[in-house]
Amino acid sequence: MGNNKSVWFLFIYLFVCLFVCLFIFTGVTASHKLAECDLKRMNEYKHLIVEVAQYCEMDPAVICGIISRESRAGATLDNGWGDHGNAFGLMQASAHRRRYHQPVGAWDSKEHIRQATDILVYFINAIKKKFPRWPKEHHFKGPAL
């Protein structure tokens, strides 16, 4: 019964956050409010994110932003799976029937965060190579779509 109560609390909390962000805030403000809602859960992964960010030479804020946007810091996942079973982990690496990326590690592990960050870095570098004159901000947009 206690576990059922916490599931309902989490559901209601996420619903309220989503409602507030969709109907009261928009754009960047909505993203900031959603990130505030995710902060407590995100702090559980802070040490992993910082380690991966240093190793991959990626700003930890970028990794946190993707984790918040894609999985609400894990809150929307079912055994690590999201997007109707097509993506895995905190950063939701595409794993549709495991055709795209074979998941590495547990959904909330350093290994998996590193795998997803490596995928991100690969696509950022591919965009840089194809469009070398684009500003840095534009290089990040392609992989984030």
Q: Which residues are catalytic?
A: 70, 83
Q: Is 99 helix (H, G, I), strand (E, B) or coil?
A: coil
Q: Buried b vs exposed e over 37-71: b needs ≥16 C-beta within 10 Å? A: bbeebbeebeebbeebbeebebebebbbebbbbbb
Q: In whole angstroms, what is the distance from residue 91 CA to residue 72 CA?
A: 9
